[in-house]
């Protein structure tokens, strides 16, 4: 409980110390003006923004698929080699 009381006291002290902090006059208006001034991204810009996040994931998936395919190919080759070496006796 002492830790929680200490935290509550610190939060109360910080709230009192920062109570007078306010944004400057016209800050909200300037932010809204900047947002309104931005043009909507084109299709290519939006696609590039999405691709930057997806390309690394796709590259990892492709690398894992290649590793899996090589392992499967090697195991199939091993199985075929043992079946070719088998001799049937009558």
pLDDT in tens, the chain (90 residues): 567 778 999 999 999 999 888 888 999 999 999 988 888 888 988 888 888 888 999 999 999 999 999 888 877 766 666 655 556 665
Provide the token pair at 70: 């090589």
Q: Distance between CA atoms of 59 and 66, rounded to whole angstroms? A: 11
What residue spans of the chain are helical by DSSP H?
A: 2-17, 27-37, 43-85
Segments making up each domain of the chain, as ranges = 2-85
Handedness of CA 4, 10, 11, 12 (dihedral sign): positive
What pTM did the predictor assign? 0.39
Q: Distance between CA atoms of 32 and 25, rounded to whole angstroms? A: 13
């Amino acid at each position: 409980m002492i830790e929680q009381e200490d935290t509550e006291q610190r939060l109360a002290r910080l709230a009192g110390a920062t109570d007078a902090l306010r944004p400057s006059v016209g800050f909200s208006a300037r932010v809204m003006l900047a947002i309104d001034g931005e043009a909507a991204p084109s299709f290519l810009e939006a696609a590039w923004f999405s691709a930057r996040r997806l390309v690394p994931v796709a590259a990892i998936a492709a690398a894992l698929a290649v590793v899996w395919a090589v392992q499967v190919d090697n195991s199939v080759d091993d199985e075929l080699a043992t079946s070719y070496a088998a001799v049937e006796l009558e």
